[in-house]
Amino acid sequence: MGTSILNIWWVDDSKPGHSNQTQGLISALRRYREVEARRFVPANIRHNLRALVTAPWEPQKPSLIVSAGHPTHLTLLSLAHQHRCPSIVLMRPSLPLKLFDAVIAPAHDGLQDTNRILTTSGVINRVVPSEAQESTRGLIMLGGMNSFGAGGWSNTELEAAMPVDFQIKNAKVQAVGALVLMIRSILLR
């Protein structure tokens, strides 16, 4: 562990996926440093604007502030500005990238790595891979268009653990003309 405590504030919109992302980052940092974490909920716009012009109200300055979820962005930015500390958002933000000190986002968000953007294979979370192979446990993966291979999970430890591969081999594409032919066949009857 490091000598100083890393004081992390995290802005939480109470959505389980977003909470899991911020808690995953905090858990990973705890493996290397002593971390004290404090949860905040997104404030309304008036509170965010007031926070930009008032003096800091917290006795313990945060080392950094983290959030995930679009409703958290203004609170994240106003707290970071107020306390003059780095802001880290764990997704492609809905506000301009230049407003954030760092962005950690899954590859399926479509960002490119830069000195302030780090892309990950999949979303950061609290799951830690286990070395033990137990036949009494299982995993079910559900998802939409950004799942499996399309979600950046190809060639990862998760794919290696699954009985299938995540490569998209045969994309099914329906011709645009199919709808036209259907309409035409109805009209000709």
* pLDDT on residue 143: 65
Which has more confidence, 48 or 161?
Answer: 161
* pLDDT on residue 181: 39
Calpha distance 137→156 (Å, rounded): 20
**Exposed e or buried b per residue across 84-106, where buried means at least 16 C-beta atoms within 10 angstroms of its C-beta:** ebebbbbbbbeeeeeebeebbbb
Radius of gyration of the chain (CA): 22
Do residues 87 and 100 make contact, with C-beta atoms less than 8 angstroms apart? yes
* pLDDT on residue 179: 41
Q: CA of 76: how far to CAs of 126, 139, 154, in Å?
A: 21, 34, 32
* pLDDT on residue 128: 74
**pLDDT digit string (tens) for 32-46?**
889 999 888 887 656
* pLDDT on residue 177: 42
Q: To which residue do tokens 């036209």 refer?
A: 180
Calpha distance 67→89 (Å, rounded): 5
Closest C-alpha among 142, 104, 96 to residue 120: 104
**pLDDT digit string (tens) for 90-114?**
999 999 999 999 999 998 899 999 9
* pLDDT on residue 188: 46
Do residues 65 and 34 make contact, with C-beta atoms less than 8 angstroms apart? no
Helices (H), the chain: 16-30, 45-53, 73-83, 157-161, 177-187
* pLDDT on residue 105: 93
Out of 3-7, 27-31, 120-124, 154-158, pick the least confident: 154-158
Calpha distance 66→60 (Å, rounded): 16
Take residue 103 and report the two structure tokens written for it.
């962005």
Q: How far is CA 99 from the centre of its chain?
A: 17
**pLDDT digit string (tens) for 128-187?**
766 666 666 666 666 666 666 666 677 777 777 776 666 666 555 444 444 433 444 444
Calpha distance 95→71 (Å, rounded): 11
* pLDDT on residue 7: 92
Ranges of each domain in the chain: 1-128, 133-189
Indicate the CATH number of 1-128 among 1.10.287, 1.20.120, 3.40.50, 2.30.30: 3.40.50
* pLDDT on residue 187: 45
| pLDDT at residue 19 tops 80 | yes
